[in-house]
Structure 1
Amino acid sequence: MISKLHYISTEKKDKNHLQHIKEACEAGCRWIQLRAKEVTVEEYIALGIEAKKITDQFNAVLLINDQPKVAKAIGADGVHVGKEDISPAKAKEILGKGKIVGGTANTIEDIQRLYDFGVDYIGLGPFRFTQTKKKLSPILGLEGYQNLLDECKNRSIDTPIIAIGGIETTDVKSILSTGIYGIAISGLIANAVQPEKVVSELEVELAL
């Protein structure tokens, strides 16, 4: 079962990935993606091992961004691949059966390609500008989501689609009205004074 609430890790001056992941888990997130950029494979594995200790403690799903070999090495639940990363088919081959593979999309062509690959979920975005990603695809906004979700319906694409990119709690209801399955957040929790309150409010909106 794909969660309707995904947390994607980030790193800030005062807190590292692991501290943010622990906070997200303590707040109630049970689907965590470790997204560490500009690290070596060895560093990613070391980080992943520690992240998995945290997610195991909270019985949360752990995905690794971009690197299926890292996901396999640490026994993660799966991987999320970006548009310019390894193909979902290759990721599935590396990870083996029973592991989750998600992919990033920005256009209907991206969605169709990922659907044809048989990914477990699709991260669609960005909803609005976000500082947590350097190479940002064109902003979709509510209208973009609606158009893409309508086209998915026309094509009978039923893969769970997760909205991502600068999403605030007040956006959730309108985003869900487009037919989106769930949302992914990063800064919304990482910057929160009370992460548990944010997650609680999101759970109400998502009816988790």
Structure 2
Amino acid sequence: MADSTYTPATYRKDGGNTHVIASGGTLSVESGGTVTLDSGSAITSSGGYLSVCEGVSITEDGSGTSYTGTIEIPAGAIVHDIGFTNTVLWDGTSASLEIGDDDDDNGWFEATDLKATDLVVGEVLSAADDGAWGGKNGAYLTTAGPRGRVTSGVDSGWYYGAASEVIFLVTPGAADGSAGRSFGWVRYSVPTFVASTNV
């Protein structure tokens, strides 16, 4: 007979609609197992925080005169990195990348050639690593260390007090290329801030 005085560290409640992993419990996904979230699902955190990585893909298709990928940054977020890489070089007349936001269109990275030496296949632009700026760092990235955007009383460095976005913009010289394949990403978290104790 089961011990009814014992509550396991993982259990179902609400008629089976909620599965609880209590203190000391573990969710283990074995080899070959997956956790799937359908479109419209959300992972939320109370008392902790989740690290999120969102990305955009940009494909040269011979018809566009600008290619834009936008990643929304929620209020209260701390950005950990902004990155970009090519898997295939662009082959049109020219192709210039800028990474910025709604305040400065090239605040993170200035005009970067996606056809040649600025960012060849296998190289990565990374805002978090000053060795991976390629000399193309914008005003938000300084040799004293990444500082990010500054909005008095709201945003400072990697901290975004108000919702914003990171914008990846590729501008070709003409709509005449069809090879380029690139990926940009932003890694951020929205921590739970605990107020200080003042004495």
Relative to total residues, which structure has the larger strand share, 1 or 2?
2
Q: TM-score range by the shorter chain?
A: under 0.3
Structure with max Cα Rg: 2
Structure-2-length-normalised TM-score: 0.22
Q: Which has the higher contact order (CA 8 A, sep 6+)?
A: 2
